Amino acid sequence: MRISYSSLDTFLKCPLKYKFNQIDKIEEEKAKPTVIGSFFHLIMHYIYEKDITKISLQEIEDFIKKEFPNIQYHDFSEKIHKKLTQEDLEFILEKTKTFYDTNKNKKTQTISLEEKFEITLQDKNNIHILSGIIDRFDKLQENNYEIIDYKTANKLSSFNQVSQNKQLSIYGLGILSKWPNITLKNLKFSLYFLKHNEKIQTSRTQQDLDSTKEEIIHQINKIEKTKAFHPNCGWYCSYCGYKHICPIYKNEYCSSKTKEETKQLIEEYFKIIEEKEKLENKLDQLKTKISNYMKKTKTLLVKSNSGFFKINPQSTETYNWIKVREILKPLKKWNKILKVDLNNFNQILKEIPESEREKIYKLKKEKQEITIQVTNTKNIQNGQVKDNIKNPLEG
Ligand code: SF4
């Protein structure tokens, strides 16, 4: 299979977006955060193409102001293309100035900008080609090199997250295959968070790169075997240009009448749930009071005109399972009463040799099931549903 890093990343985040883009070939509309991100990349390209140590801030600002009016994004709710605002321009100018002031005196040699690469991944009988584009590749002092990828997300990643960032590891594989004279120990891996003006520099071991290769092969195999591409929402939905056709967000873009009607039904549903919970609490309290009275007075039956409460003395049976096992095992019946535990099974899959694991994977059947998750928004705290269930509407 031939695949780009960005398509692979799309599949990992949301299989449905991958399908829209790579299989159905539906052109993606550009959301506002996406066009701002692309514009920052263009500005960085311009600065380093001209050489940051030689270009003035005025030249950069002139470039930004010249290009800015051409930028448009898609407003999904109004279904029209819009231009960025004056406020957006000021934000971009401010962040660029901060970047420039921090980096203008740094002595580095930029080897390439938006360097394209391809790596070959050998998987038993198949060969896969993974391609990518590296934002910037610099030569530092003392024969060191640095891969830099710009990020325009609002959230700043931690050092550990950057150390484990697969995208940088893949870029490392790309650089090492293009420039075999560069050694891994001289290679730095950085993410530059432009909105925070923060660069996080990390390194990689050979083991990191080898495990990244294995993981990509595993993911490519997964894509090839996938038949049903389900949506998987997350923070990246705010950048997604398929929101208007995505079944998760579709309701937001339907007619306001339908939207209002659905909203009212949901409101009514949760109002009744609330009343039901109150009544259930009241029922529990009454039940506790009555059964406490019965236990205290050792009464087995109490009644009114509407019904009765009766205590049925019960005894439950259990066995000494160790002894039962001793009897059933020689009769070859013990295994029959053991239940399949999927968690255990998945753990065991990790422990057995790959050849055996592959045999088991071939036995896997995909079962389509529809379940409806009902979540009361009152149970959502800090974007997370209580009890650690993922908020399905988290964008
Ligand atoms: S909006 Fe989110 S869930 Fe829907 S296709 Fe895009 S990324 Fe996937």
Ligand 1 mutation pick, 13, 229, 232, max ligand atoms within 8 A of CB: 232
Q: Is residue 43 in some structural domain?
A: yes
Atom 3 of ligand 1, residue of closest alpha carbon? 233
27 and 118 part of one domain: yes
238 and 323 part of one domain: no
**CA of 187: how far to CAs of 14, 313, 351, in Å?**
31, 74, 33
Q: Is residue 164 in some structural domain?
A: yes
Expressed in angstroms and rounded, the spacing between residue 28 Cα and the centre of ligand 1 is 11
Which residue in the block uniquely carries the two structure tokens 């592959």? 358
Domain that residue 106 falls in: 2-245
Q: Which atom of ligand 1 is nearest to the CA of 243?
A: 1
- The pLDDT of residue 393 is 37
- Cβ atoms of 135 and 189 within 8 Å: the answer is no
CA distance 388 to 14: 20
Q: Is residue 275 in some structural domain?
A: no
Q: Which atom of ligand 1 is nearest to the CA of 395?
A: 2
Ligand 1 mutation pick, 233, 251, 390, max ligand atoms within 8 A of CB: 233
Nearest 10 degrees: Cα torsion 158, 159, 163, 167: 50
Ligand 1 mutation pick, 240, 245, 393, 394, max ligand atoms within 8 A of CB: 240
pLDDT in tens, 370-386: 555 666 666 665 555 55
Q: Is 197 exposed, middle or buried (0-12, 13-18, 19+ CB in 10 A)?
A: middle
- The pLDDT of residue 380 is 60
240 and 322 part of one domain: no
Tally the domains of the chain: 2
Q: Is residue 119 in some structural domain?
A: yes
Report residue 170 as tokens.
């893949």
228 and 322 part of one domain: no
Q: Is residue 158 in some structural domain?
A: yes
38 and 178 part of one domain: yes
Q: Which atom of ligand 1 is nearest to the CA of 242?
A: 6
Report residue 138 as tokens.
């610099």
The residue among 218, 219, 249 whose CA lies nearest residue 232 is: 249
- Residues of the chain scoring pLDDT < 70: 366-395
336 and 215 part of one domain: no
Q: Is residue 302 in some structural domain?
A: no
197 and 328 part of one domain: no
Q: Is residue 371 in some structural domain?
A: no
Expressed in angstroms and rounded, the spacing between residue 347 Cα and the centre of ligand 1 is 30
pLDDT in tens, 226-275: 999 999 999 889 889 998 899 998 888 777 788 889 999 999 999 999 99
Q: Is residue 294 in some structural domain?
A: no
Residue at which a domain ends, from 226, 245, 264: 245
325 and 232 part of one domain: no
- The pLDDT of residue 118 is 94
Residue 43's CB: how many other CB atoms inside 10 A?
23
Expressed in angstroms and rounded, the spacing between residue 201 Cα and the centre of ligand 1 is 31
Which residue in the block uniquely carries the two structure tokens 């236990």? 295
Q: Which atom of ligand 1 is nearest to the CA of 240?
A: 6
- Binding-site residues, ligand 1, Cβ < 6 A: 14, 16-17, 231-233, 236-237, 240, 242-243, 246, 248-249
The residue among 56, 148, 39, 37 whose CA lies nearest residue 100 is: 56
CA distance 168 to 363: 35
- The pLDDT of residue 82 is 94
Helix (H) or strand (E) holding 17: helix 15-18
Expressed in angstroms and rounded, the spacing between residue 187 Cα and the centre of ligand 1 is 35
Expressed in angstroms and rounded, the spacing between residue 252 Cα and the centre of ligand 1 is 13
Atom 2 of ligand 1, residue of closest alpha carbon? 237
Atom 5 of ligand 1, residue of closest alpha carbon? 17
- The pLDDT of residue 315 is 76
Expressed in angstroms and rounded, the spacing between residue 20 Cα and the centre of ligand 1 is 10
State the chain's mean pLDDT as an integer.
88
CATH number at residue 97: 3.90.320
- Cβ atoms of 145 and 184 within 8 Å: the answer is no
191 and 329 part of one domain: no
Residue at which a domain ends, from 212, 245, 278: 245
Q: Which atom of ligand 1 is nearest to the CA of 246?
A: 4
Helix (H, G, I), strand (E, B) or coil at 107: coil
85 and 167 part of one domain: yes
Helix (H) or strand (E) holding 331: none
Helix (H) or strand (E) holding 212: helix 206-225
Expressed in angstroms and rounded, the spacing between residue 208 Cα and the centre of ligand 1 is 30
Helix (H, G, I), strand (E, B) or coil at 193: strand
Residue at which a domain ends, from 208, 223, 245: 245
Ligand 1 mutation pick, 10, 16, 229, 390, max ligand atoms within 8 A of CB: 16
